[in-house]
């Protein structure tokens, strides 16, 4: 389907080209009076006679009034009358000076000179070629390609079918060609406006609507022009010709306004272009738009202000307009083929080259024309063809010379190998990551010998699929995507030698030749391995052609190989350093773990020992001596209390192990928190009494149901109470309070103990964390209690909070969601 659309377009092109050739012959056959006429005070005045014998002629005094029986008022009238006649015909012209009238027979001559025709032909061929290339190269869905194609087609019609002899070969074909011309004249601006909305990217979703409107205006204008010309030419009426001219003038205004609007639109696209590549494309367009119109102003219009003639002939001016289709075409098809920025800098120098070629071309054509004498269409085409071939032949050697000169002067940075060596090695030594190495060598290489595309591809030995790509700019990474497959083992078989395409390096350098298929569609032409040994290639450096478009010299390759070697060394160093660093962190971690282990073993054994000693001691007392029943009761209580402590400790250790393994399970049932707290206090009664603690309790409600694992909550409370006991000094009291606040229950344990420093408040919930202070020196512990409490609270969808100040005491609050709230939350 896509191919079909392209074929239809190309078929249309062929028809248009054929019609253009007909129009071209009509231009060639366009007749003119030999007289040079100017308009003065609405009269057609003779400036010079062009060799015609007019008796008593004085310049600017004689007026042409009637041509071939038609009363003429403007130069265009004369042109229109002549266009309807043949070159070589003899016609009667009435000439008036004052009141004196004389009729003179004049033979019509060709309107355009041979050079003009040749250049016009050249321009037409160029335009149509660019138009066809664009449509062939770009996918059909690329709107900018086909709007440009039709734009160029219209321009082709405009140039090849402009006012010519409209009776060649007969009136019908003349009128038909002029109708197409009218159509093209009105639609050039339409397609240009359209183009500016879709290039470089589509920018407005209502473009089609706008195009419909201006397309409609253009249609009316072309019908108006075409029909009035039909009437004027068939009736040979100057009155209808005037109507045609009015339509034509309106069309000119439409043309100018649309073109100004389009240029502004392109400026807008440039300003808001999101990507640099878009800007580069637009710069091509601007370059073309600059060369044509700028030279027109500089060489054509300004000189005419000061002298009566332009600096260059009209023919040459026409030639400069060739820049427009060329640069536009470049912009769409191969905007990245050359560096536009570079081109801007170079354009002055290359302008000289262009001038030389044009001069040669003009001299050749002019010389031949003089030699051959009378020119016919046939030999003029042959002549222009031959001149073009000769120009092309001499173009190559001149271009090489000029280029060499330009490159020497402007583009080859004269690098000193030894200085570059030292500088790059120094810089690479300071790189701390492979990333830095990649970026450094890309920038350095581009500084020394500007290359069109450079990319650095880092391989991942563990996962070969994962490659990291660094590139000097977006276009280069795009080029990497065009590589068929990054299988460089084909190109670099067990060696560290770089591989380059044959045509990209100077002859006679010993490097591996790369095959085009290895670089696929991409514009890279060389690959340099980066590795310490051949079978440990870490990365590759891909290079495109040099910007100067010169091939890589022996020195360039040696330099690139050196840089890659240094980069390889830097990468090996970075890798080693990284390994060393990770080994170091591993050993520090192990050391820390060891410390924790020994701390744990010593504290736990100490913690186990204390209650065991009391248990043993009191059991021995009971066994060996007779005690009063009260004393017995007291000792048994101590034994029971110490066993409880032991159980708690062992539970903590076991619990923590379960938490760490992730296998601690909770068994949730509805629990009354008031009852639970009372139970805890009863269980801890002995401990509290032993350490002479006073307790106070306050409950904000009679019962407070929560969903909880009863044993876990008891464990949490006991941990907090035993902490309060452990970390209290002289002021020994614990206040336990339960408050209910909307949807939460807050259970608080307040002591008047040693307190916790502010900066440690977050740390104490971490496993094994203990505050090392003098006051807490004697209190034993594992540092696991609060970590367990926090885990328990998390499991209950609650939290633990602490407030504390040194020497004044601490307050730990356990916050539980109430059952009704849980229900609500679940429901939500």
User: What residue ranges bind ligand ADP (CB under 6 A)?
Assistant: 719, 723-724, 727, 751, 753-756, 764, 770-771, 776, 781-787, 810
- Nearer to ligand ADP among residue 511 and residue 795 (C-beta): 795
- Nearer to ligand ADP among residue 237 and residue 773 (C-beta): 773
**In angstroms, rounded to a whole number, what is the distance separating the alpha carbons of residues 138 and 146?**
9
Dihedral Cα 193, 198, 203, 208, nearest 10 deg: 60
Write down the least CB distance from residue 674 to ligand ADP, Å: 23
Write down the least CB distance from residue 783 to ligand ADP, Å: 4
Would you tell me how many other CB atoms lie within 10 Å of the CB of residue 454? 22
- Nearer to ligand ADP among residue 606 and residue 820 (C-beta): 606
Q: In terms of residues, how long is the chain?
A: 828
Pair of tokens at residue 300 = 């054509």
Write down the least CB distance from residue 577 to ligand ADP, Å: 39
Residue 169 preceded by cis peptide, ω within 30: yes
- Nearer to ligand ADP among residue 641 and residue 785 (C-beta): 785
Write down the least CB distance from residue 585 to ligand ADP, Å: 27
- Nearer to ligand ADP among residue 226 and residue 753 (C-beta): 753
**Which of 369, 383, 375 lies closest to 29, judged by CA?**
375
The 3-state secondary structure of 231-265 reads HHHHHCCHHHHHHHHHHHHHHHHHHHHHHHHHHHH
Would you tell me how many other CB atoms lie within 10 Å of the CB of residue 216? 11
**In angstroms, rounded to a whole number, what is the distance separating the alpha carbons of residues 533 and 520?**
27
Write down the least CB distance from residue 772 to ligand ADP, Å: 8
In 625-732, alpha helices (H): 629-661, 673-690, 710-726
- Nearer to ligand ADP among residue 313 and residue 780 (C-beta): 780
- Nearer to ligand ADP among residue 175 and residue 787 (C-beta): 787
Pair of tokens at residue 37 = 């006429």
The 3-state secondary structure of 518-545 reads HHCCCCEEEEEEEECCCCCEEEEEEEEC
Write down the least CB distance from residue 603 to ligand ADP, Å: 8
Write down the least CB distance from residue 754 to ligand ADP, Å: 5
Pair of tokens at residue 353 = 């080259």
**Which of 106, 78, 84, 69 lies closest to 30, judged by CA?**
84
**In angstroms, rounded to a whole number, what is the distance separating the alpha carbons of residues 183 and 157?**
9
Write down the least CB distance from residue 761 to ligand ADP, Å: 9
- Nearer to ligand ADP among residue 16 and residue 784 (C-beta): 784
3-class DSSP assignment, residue 37: strand
- Nearer to ligand ADP among residue 620 and residue 766 (C-beta): 766
Distances in Å between the Cα of 112 and the Cα atoms of 32, 119, 201, 317 are 9, 11, 41, 15
Residue in this structure with the two tokens 């060891």, named with its chain if needed: 594
Give the β-pairing of 512-514 and 499-501.
parallel
- Nearer to ligand ADP among residue 550 and residue 656 (C-beta): 656
Write down the least CB distance from residue 652 to ligand ADP, Å: 8
Residue in this structure with the two tokens 């004196």, named with its chain if needed: 100
Write down the least CB distance from residue 591 to ligand ADP, Å: 22
């Amino acid at each position: 389907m896509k191919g079909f659309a392209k074929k239809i377009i190309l078929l249309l092109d062929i028809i248009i080209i054929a019609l253009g050739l007909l129009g071209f012959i009509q231009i060639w056959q366009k007749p003119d009076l030999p007289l040079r006429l100017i308009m003065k005070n609405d009269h057609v005045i003779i400036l010079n006679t062009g060799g015609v014998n007019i008796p008593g002629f004085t310049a600017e005094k004689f007026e042409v009034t009637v041509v071939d029986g038609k009363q003429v008022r403007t130069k265009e009238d004369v042109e229109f009358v002549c266009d309807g006649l043949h070159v070589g015909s003899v016609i009667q012209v009435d000439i008036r000076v004052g009141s004196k009238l004389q009729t003179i027979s004049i033979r019509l001559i060709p309107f355009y000179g041979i050079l003009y025709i040749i250049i016009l032909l050249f321009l037409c061929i160029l335009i149509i070629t660019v138009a066809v290339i664009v449509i062939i190269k770009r996918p059909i869905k690329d709107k900018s390609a086909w709007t440009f194609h039709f734009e160029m087609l219209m321009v082709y019609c405009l140039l090849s079918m402009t006012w010519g002899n409209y009776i060649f070969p007969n009136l019908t074909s003349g009128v038909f060609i002029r109708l197409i011309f009218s159509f093209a004249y009105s639609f050039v601006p339409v397609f240009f406006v359209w183009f500016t909305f879709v290039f470089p990217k589509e920018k407005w979703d209502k473009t089609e609507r706008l195009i419909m409107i201006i397309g409609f205006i253009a249609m009316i204008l072309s019908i108006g022009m075409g029909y009035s010309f039909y009437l004027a030419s068939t009736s040979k009426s100057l009155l209808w010709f005037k109507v045609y001219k009015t339509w034509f003038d309106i069309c000119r205004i439409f043309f100018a306004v649309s073109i100004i609007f389009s240029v502004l639109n392109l400026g807008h696209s440039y300003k808001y272009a999101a990507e640099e590549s878009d800007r580069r494309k637009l710069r091509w367009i601007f370059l073309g738009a600059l060369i044509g119109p700028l030279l027109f102003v500089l060489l054509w219009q300004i000189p005419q202000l000061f002298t009566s003639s332009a600096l260059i002939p009209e023919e040459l001016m026409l030639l400069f307009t060739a820049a427009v289709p060329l640069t536009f075409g470049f912009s769409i098809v191969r905007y990245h083929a050359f560096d536009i920025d570079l081109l801007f800098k170079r354009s002055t120098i290359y302008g000289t080259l262009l001038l030389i070629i044009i001069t040669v071309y003009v001299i050749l054509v002019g010389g031949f024309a003089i030699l051959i004498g009378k020119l016919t269409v046939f030999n003029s085409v042959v002549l222009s063809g031959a001149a073009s071939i000769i120009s092309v032949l001499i173009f190559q050697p001149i271009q090489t010379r000029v280029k060499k000169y330009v490159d020497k002067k402007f583009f080859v940075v004269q690098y000193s190998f030894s200085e570059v060596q030292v500088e790059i090695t120094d810089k690479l030594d300071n790189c701390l990551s492979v990333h830095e190495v990649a970026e450094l060598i890309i920038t350095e290489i581009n500084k020394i010998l500007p290359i069109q595309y450079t990319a650095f591809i880092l391989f991942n030995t563990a996962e070969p699929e994962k490659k990291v790509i660094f590139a000097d700019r977006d276009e280069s990474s795009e080029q990497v995507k065009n590589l068929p497959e990054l299988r460089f083992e084909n190109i670099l078989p067990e060696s560290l030698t770089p591989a380059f395409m044959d045509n990209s390096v100077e002859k006679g350098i010993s490097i591996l030749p790369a095959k085009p298929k290895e670089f696929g569609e991409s514009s890279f032409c060389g690959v340099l391995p980066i590795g310490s040994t051949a079978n440990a290639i870490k990365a590759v450096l891909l290079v495109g052609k040099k910007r100067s478009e010169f091939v890589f010299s022996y020195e360039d390759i040696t330099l690139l190989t050196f840089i890659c070697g240094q980069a390889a060394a830097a990468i090996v160093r970075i890798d080693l350093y990284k390994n060393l660093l990770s080994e170091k962190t591993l050993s520090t971690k192990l050391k820390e773990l060891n410390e924790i282990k020994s701390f744990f073993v010593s504290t736990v054994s100490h913690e186990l020992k204390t209650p065991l000693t009391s248990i043993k001691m009191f059991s021995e007392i009971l066994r060996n001596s007779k005690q009063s029943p009260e004393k017995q009761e007291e000792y048994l209580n101590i034994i029971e209390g110490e066993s409880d402590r032991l159980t708690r400790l062992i539970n903590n250790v076991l619990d923590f192990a379960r938490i760490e393994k992730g296998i601690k399970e909770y068994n949730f049932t509805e629990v009354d928190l008031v009852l639970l707290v009372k139970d805890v206090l009863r269980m801890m009664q002995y401990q509290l009494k032993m350490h002479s603690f006073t307790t106070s309790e306050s409950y904000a409600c009679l019962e407070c149901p929560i969903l909880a694992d009863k044993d876990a909550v008891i464990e949490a409370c006991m941990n907090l109470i035993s902490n309060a006991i452990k970390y209290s000094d002289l002021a020994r009291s614990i206040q336990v309070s339960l408050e209910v606040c909307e949807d939460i229950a807050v259970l608080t344990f307040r002591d008047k103990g040693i307190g916790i420093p502010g900066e440690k408040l977050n740390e104490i919930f971490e496993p094994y964390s203990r505050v090392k202070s003098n006051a807490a020196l004697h209190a034993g512990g594992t540092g696991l209690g609060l970590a367990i409490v926090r885990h328990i609270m998390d499991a209950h969808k609650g939290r633990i909070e602490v407030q504390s100040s040194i020497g004044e005491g601490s307050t730990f609050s356990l916050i539980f969601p109430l059952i009704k709230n849980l229900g609500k939350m679940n429901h939500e």
